[in-house]
């Protein structure tokens, strides 16, 4: 480490990392387009100009992404010379930029927009027509390219070269005629395409699934964790006006996913927006499930749980560590069996992120000592029980609605806590459950790294998280509560 | 030591000198044979070239011997080492290396081998401009002839010096003549210049220590080794040593490539060798060293054509490619052509250069078409200042900005007059050519 002075403040910097990283790490904002902390710096956009003084030599304006910190270096990111150079650079970048911010999905989180505001050059000096290029060039199933907005930072090109290590994009042609292209206009392939839309500092690369879906300033964003495999990539879940999840993006986490996530996880949010969700609770009355006050349904469930010794709990693999702890304690006190559904590997494994194990909290639940069984085996193990509690989101989906229906309704009573109701004879009660964007908790990934899930939006009325449901059950069991103390 | 001593074009002017028998009869490979036979240490070659004061002939004019010393010590750093020879001569106005490669390829190959010897390079790569087919073929034939006589390849002339010489033809991009763009292109990639540092001597071709030298530069080396650094240093002016090739073109009676000793004035070259400005016209402006140098006016033609004198006049020697412009010529039209060239050739990496070269080209085009706007000349100046100096990865942006700034400085009134009159008063009907795949 070396000591450098940035804007009058002494900071420690790694001489092997570019100066811009040292600035960012110490909270100093330096604009960037081509630089990205997850990619090799190329120094081509020239926006990260800062004034650097070394020794007695007069200060020189240089790009912070291609400058190595050296002992005693004095850096001024706000000097008039640095601002002047950045302002010039912005003018060039805006020369052919279409300025269609009002219809651009990137507006509001666009680096070009932000730095242009920051440098405050409102008037343009061009008399020329702007470059006219393809404004909606499809690059496959995931991405659309707007060649006019592109500022040729080449982050997307380098992403495919450096991260999945499978080059797919290139800069084609020369100079002001340069465009981003795939070889022979072939569509992009692989499951990491979505990352280039995050990387794009302007609105040139957009996700087909996010185009014209929301203005980004209307999105509520919260830190969460992806539940599509045991990697548990850190994410940000973005919800429009408390209703639908519109976008999930990777959140920087050096220990897990760096800056990236796969498209399977990225687009899995669509199931959170499915209509027909279960509200409150329902109890079986003869042939039908009939809505009942949750208190009443809970009391009935408590009574049955306390009466029936031959009972099995089957947890969803999406259950959090906190939910696992509660279920374990409850099952132990009541003398019930407990397992979680352990889905089979799904063949999506790759060298980058996806583990192929669609069980986001396997490590967390296993570490609690809860056994994991494949769906068929979990049901098989529950066959001897008189009462089965299916707990957590997607539990019916994983077990198979048909399989659950085949349970003998005269012998087995099923109590279901899921996002959706399942109206088959064996199901005696149903509680609406909050899914992983509607409740809080913690998952532990394949390496034991814990990641949070957040309640970005409210669950349907009366629906609750499995943790809350179990807490309520415990409150309704006075003896057990005392015993637990 | 006469100022009239000639050596660069001596063999080139002999009929058939591209064949090894003729070339050897006239002294080709003598210096290489001497160095290898005497076992001259490679460091002694570097010292000799350093003492001679030879400066690179590719435009930047950096001391060749000094550049060679930047290569790491082969004992401490045993990585493979390369010499890359820049024969991608494509600056508007410059056409000197072509003469050497076409007329005396053996002298050139000898220069390549001696330079490779000095820096201990296992291999030399000659990057020839794609359009130079004859030059390429002549040099390739020369390498084959030299190889047959054990002058190229393993254990040259029985010594422990081995050097392969490879040829590569460019694809027609000016930017591949920038040394790091050249290396990228040689590696099979797009000719995008690399940010420096790291410099080629530490991280060059395929990441190995590499020196990039110009054709005329290496061509000088055998003469220095044969006749001694003192002979070379005795030619020329204080900081510009030896003879140089000067390609004079434009509105002169006898355009061509001439050999001069540093110290000659541009006026002498123009009037005594190139036959003066054509059609009896006056000299309005001229580029002293290719289109990337600042323009000078006709009055500056008394300048001595060397590094220091031209810098004192606010320009530079570049590749000593003088482009003369007569007083009937529209400067808006000249700059339109120059700016279009840089727009066409910018690699497009750096924002300033990619957008700036296009912008300059569009403005000059408008002015030349009589469609200039009142603020255009001021914008040209502001843009050029935003593009240079040293604001981009390579010097192409500077190369577009420098002539622009000089044109705005020297011919502001003429440009403004085009804007004011809404026509170019000096416009001449241009010959119409059918251009295949034209740009714009």
Nearest to A84 by CA among A39, A47, A29: A47
Domain spanning B11-233 has what CATH number? 3.40.50.11540
β-pairing, A74-76 with A49-53? antiparallel
**Residues in Cβ contact with A228 at an 8 Å cutoff, skipping those fewer than 6 apart:** A262, A264, A265, A268, A354, A358, A360
Closest-CA residue in chain B for A152?
B349
Distance CA A217, CA A113 (A): 14
Model confidence band, residue A479 (pLDDT cutoffs 50, 70, 90) = low
Give pLDDT, residue A408.
87
Q: Is B172 on the interface with A (CB under 8 A)?
A: no
Give pLDDT, residue B3.
62
- H helices within A26-79, ranges in order? none
Contact call for B345 and A42, based on CB within 8 A: no
Q: Name which of B354, B376, B385 is nearest A175 (Cβ-Cβ).
A: B354
For the segment A353-372, what is each residue's pLDDT rounded down to a tens digit?
A: 999 999 999 999 999 999 99
Give pLDDT, residue B439.
52
**A187 with A88, same domain?**
no
**A242 with A307, same domain?**
no
Contact call for B358 and A95, based on CB within 8 A: yes
User: Residue length, chain A?
Assistant: 485
Model confidence band, residue A99 (pLDDT cutoffs 50, 70, 90) = confident
Q: How far is CA A310 from CA A181, A384, A404, A407, A417, in A?
A: 63, 8, 18, 15, 19
Q: Which fold has domain B331-421?
A: de novo design (two linked rop proteins) (1.20.1440)
Distance CA A412, CA A124 (A): 75
Provide the domain limits for residue A407. 281-484
Q: Name which of A92, A96, A176 is nearest B386 (Cβ-Cβ).
A: A92
Whether the Cβ atoms of residue B404 and residue B291 lie closer than 8 Å to each other: no
Interface test with B, best of A81, A92, A169 (most B CBs within 10 A): A92
Phi, psi of B286, deg, nearest 5: -160, 150
CA distance B313 to chain A (A): 25
Q: Is A67 on the interface with B (CB under 8 A)?
A: no
Q: Is B228 on the interface with A (CB under 8 A)?
A: no
The chain-wide mean pLDDT, for chain B, equals 95
Contact call for B376 and A66, based on CB within 8 A: no
Contact call for B382 and A151, based on CB within 8 A: no
**A445 with A344, same domain?**
yes
For the segment B295-331, what is each residue's pLDDT rounded down to a tens digit?
A: 999 999 999 999 999 999 999 999 999 999 999 999 9
In the listed set A243, A273, A303, which residue is the last one of a domain according to the structure?
A273
**A407 with A295, same domain?**
yes
In a domain, A163, yes or no: yes
In a domain, A339, yes or no: yes
Geometric angle at alpha carbon A341, from A337 and A342, rounded to 5°: 125
Give pLDDT, residue B1.
42
**How is B98-165 classified by DSSP, letter by letter?**
HHHHHH-HHHHHHHHHHHHHHHT-SEEEEEE-TT-HHHHHHHHHHHHHHHHTTSSBSSGGGSS--BEE
Distance CA A157, CA A149 (A): 16
Give pLDDT, residue B101.
98
Distance CA B2, CA B216 (A): 21
Phi, psi of B179, deg, nearest 5: -60, -40
Q: Is A485 on the interface with B (CB under 8 A)?
A: no
Domain count, chain A: 3
Between A and B, how many residue pairs show a Cβ–Cβ distance under 8 A? 92
Task: Give strand ranges (E) for A322-436.
Answer: 337-341, 371-373, 387-391, 413-418, 427-432
Closest-CA residue in chain B for A47?
B351
Contacts of A201 in chain B (CB under 8 A): none
Work out the end-to-end distance of chain B between its first and last CA atoms, rounded to an integer number of angstroms: 53
**A256 with A334, same domain?**
no
> What is the SS3 assignment for B201?
coil
Least confident of A256-270, A399-413, B180-194, B334-348: A399-413
In a domain, A118, yes or no: no
Q: Is A54 on the interface with B (CB under 8 A)?
A: no
CA distance A163 to chain B (A): 19
**A286 with A385, same domain?**
yes
Q: Is the pLDDT of residue A410 over 90?
A: no
Q: Assign domain B243-326 to a CATH class.
A: alpha beta
Give pLDDT, residue B428.
85
Mean pLDDT of B263-288: 97
Closest-CA residue in chain A for B197?
A66
In a domain, A103, yes or no: no
Domain regions of chain B by residue span: 11-233, 243-326, 331-421
Work out the end-to-end distance of chain A between its first and last CA atoms, rounded to an integer number of angstroms: 52
Q: Is A66 on the interface with B (CB under 8 A)?
A: yes
Q: Indicate which CATH number applies to the domain containing A404.
A: 3.40.50.740
Report how far Cα B381 is from the mean position of its chain's Cα atoms: 26
Give pLDDT, residue B5.
87
Least confident of A294-298, A381-385, A425-429: A381-385
Closest-CA residue in chain A for B383?
A88
For the segment A294-342, what is each residue's pLDDT rounded down to a tens digit?
A: 999 999 999 999 999 899 999 999 999 999 999 999 999 999 999 999 9
**A289 with A427, same domain?**
yes
**A383 with A431, same domain?**
yes
Distance CA B302, CA B289 (A): 15
**A209 with A285, same domain?**
no
**A143 with A177, same domain?**
yes
SS3 letters across A405-436: HCCCCCCCEEEEEECCCCCCCCEEEEEEECCC
CA distance B358 to chain A (A): 6
Give pLDDT, residue B97.
97
Contacts of A151 in chain B (CB under 8 A): 351
Give pLDDT, residue A383.
81
Q: Is B25 on the interface with A (CB under 8 A)?
A: no
Distance CA A435, CA A413 (A): 24
The chain-wide mean pLDDT, for chain A, equals 94
For the segment A443-461, what is each residue's pLDDT rounded down to a tens digit?
A: 999 999 999 999 999 999 9
**A269 with A285, same domain?**
no
Distance CA B287, CA B320 (A): 9
Q: Which residues of B195-212 are buried (b: 16+ CB within 10 A; e: fewer)?
A: beeeebbbbbbeebbbbb
**A300 with A423, same domain?**
yes
Give pLDDT, residue A381.
84
In the listed set A273, A307, A331, which residue is the last one of a domain according to the structure?
A273
Mean pLDDT of A41-65: 95
CA distance B191 to chain A (A): 10
Give pLDDT, residue B109.
98
pTM: 0.93
Interface test with B, best of A15, A175, A177, A179 (most B CBs within 10 A): A175
Provide the chain B residues 174-213 that lie in CB contact (below 8 A) with chain A: 175, 190, 195
Residues pairing with B424 in the sheet: none
């Amino acid at each position: 480490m070396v000591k450098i002075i940035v804007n009058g403040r002494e900071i420690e910097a790694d001489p092997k990392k570019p100066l811009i990283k040292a600035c960012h790490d110490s909270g100093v904002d330096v604009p960037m387009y081509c630089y990205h902390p997850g990619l090799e710096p190329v120094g081509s956009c020239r926006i990260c100009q800062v004034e650097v003084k070394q020794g007695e030599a007069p200060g020189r304006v240089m790009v912070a992404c291609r400058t190595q910190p050296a002992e005693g270096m004095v850096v001024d990111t706000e000097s008039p010379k640095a601002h002047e150079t950045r302002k010039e650079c912005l003018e060039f970048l805006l020369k052919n930029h279409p300025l269609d911010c009002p219809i651009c999905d990137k507006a509001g989180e666009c680096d070009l927009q932000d730095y242009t505001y920051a440098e405050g050059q409102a008037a343009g000096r061009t008399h020329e027509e702007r470059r006219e290029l393809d404004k909606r060039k499809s690059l496959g199933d995931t991405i659309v390219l707007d060649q006019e907005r592109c500022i040729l930072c080449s982050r997307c090109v380098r992403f495919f070269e450096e991260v999945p290590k499978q080059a797919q994009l290139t800069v084609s042609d020369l100079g002001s005629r340069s465009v981003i292209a795939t070889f022979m206009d072939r569509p992009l392939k692989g499951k990491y395409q979505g990352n280039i839309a995050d990387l794009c500092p302007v609105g040139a690369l957009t996700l087909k699934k996010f185009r014209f879906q929301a203005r980004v300033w209307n999105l509520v964003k919260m830190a969460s964790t992806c539940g599509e495999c045991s990697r548990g990539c850190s994410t940000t879940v973005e919800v429009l006006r408390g209703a639908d999840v519109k976008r999930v993006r990777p959140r920087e986490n050096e220990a897990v996913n760096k800056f990236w996530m796969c498209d399977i996880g990225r687009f899995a949010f669509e199931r959170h927006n499915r209509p027909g969700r279960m509200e409150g609770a329902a109890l079986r009355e003869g042939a039908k499930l009939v809505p009942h006050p949750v208190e009443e349904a809970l009391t009935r469930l408590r009574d049955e749980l306390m009466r029936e010794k031959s009972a099995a709990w089957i947890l969803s693999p999406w259950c959090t560590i906190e939910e696992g702890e509660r279920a374990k304690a409850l099952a132990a006190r009541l003398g019930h069996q407990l397992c979680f559904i352990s889905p089979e590997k799904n063949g999506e494994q790759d060298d980058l992120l996806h583990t192929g194990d669609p069980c986001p909290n396997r490590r967390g639940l296993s570490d609690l000592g809860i056994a994991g069984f494949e769906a068929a085996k979990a049901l098989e193990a529950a066959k001897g029980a008189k009462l089965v509690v299916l707990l957590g989101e997607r539990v019916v989906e994983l077990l198979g609605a048909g399989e659950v229906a085949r349970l003998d309704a005269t012998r087995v009573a099923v109590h279901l806590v899921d996002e959706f109701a399942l109206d088959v004879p064996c199901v005696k009660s149903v509680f609406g459950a909050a899914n992983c964007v509607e409740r809080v908790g913690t998952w532990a990934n394949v390496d034991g790294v814990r990641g949070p899930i957040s309640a970005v939006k409210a669950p349907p009325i009366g629906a609750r998280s499995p943790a809350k449901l179990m807490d309520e059950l415990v409150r309704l069991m006075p003896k057990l509560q005392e015993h637990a103390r | 030591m006469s100022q009239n001593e000639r050596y660069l074009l001596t063999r080139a002017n002999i009929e058939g000198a591209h064949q090894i028998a003729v070339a050897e009869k006239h002294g080709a490979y003598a210096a290489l044979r001497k160095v290898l036979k005497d076992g001259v240490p490679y460091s002694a070659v570097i010292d000799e070239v350093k003492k001679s004061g030879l400066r690179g002939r590719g435009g930047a004019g950096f001391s060749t011997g000094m550049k060679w010393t930047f290569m790491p010590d082969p004992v401490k750093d045993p990585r493979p080492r390369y010499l890359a020879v820049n024969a991608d001569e494509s600056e508007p106005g410059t056409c000197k290396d072509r003469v050497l490669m076409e007329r005396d390829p053996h002298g050139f190959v000898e220069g390549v081998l001696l330079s490779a010897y000095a820096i201990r390079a296992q291999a030399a790569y000659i990057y020839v401009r794609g359009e130079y087919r004859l030059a390429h073929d002549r040099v390739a034939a020369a390498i084959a002839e030299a190889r047959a006589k054990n002058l190229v390849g393993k254990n040259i002339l029985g010594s422990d010096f081995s050097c392969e010489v490879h040829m590569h033809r460019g694809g027609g991009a000016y930017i591949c003549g920038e040394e790091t763009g050249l290396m990228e292109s040689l590696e099979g990639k797009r000719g995008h210049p690399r940010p420096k540092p790291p410099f080629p001597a530490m991280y060059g071709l395929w990441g190995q220590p590499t020196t990039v030298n110009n054709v005329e530069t290496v061509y000088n080396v055998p003469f220095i080794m044969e006749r001694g650094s003192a002979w070379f240093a005795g030619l020329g002016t204080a900081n510009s040593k030896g003879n140089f090739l000067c390609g004079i073109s434009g509105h002169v009676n006898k355009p061509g490539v001439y050999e001069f000793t540093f110290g000659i004035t541009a006026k002498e070259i123009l009037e005594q060798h190139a036959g003066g400005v054509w059609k009896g016209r006056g000299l309005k402006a001229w580029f002293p060293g290719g289109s990337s140098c600042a323009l000078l006016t006709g009055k500056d033609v008394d300048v001595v054509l060397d590094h220091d004198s031209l810098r004192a006049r606010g320009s530079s020697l570049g590749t000593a490619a003088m482009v003369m412009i007569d007083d009937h010529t529209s400067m808006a039209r000249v700059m339109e052509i120059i700016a279009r060239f840089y727009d066409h050739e910018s690699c497009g990496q750096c924002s300033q250069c990619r957008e700036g070269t296009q912008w300059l080209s569009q403005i000059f085009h408008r002015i030349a078409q009589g469609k200039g706007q009142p603020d255009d000349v001021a914008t040209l100046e502001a843009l050029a200042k935003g593009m240079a100096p040293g604001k981009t990865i390579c010097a192409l942006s500077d190369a577009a900005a420098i002539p622009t700034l000089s044109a705005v400085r020297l011919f502001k009134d003429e440009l403004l007059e085009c804007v004011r009159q809404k026509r170019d008063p000096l416009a001449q009907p241009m010959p119409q050519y059918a251009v295949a795949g034209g740009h714009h």
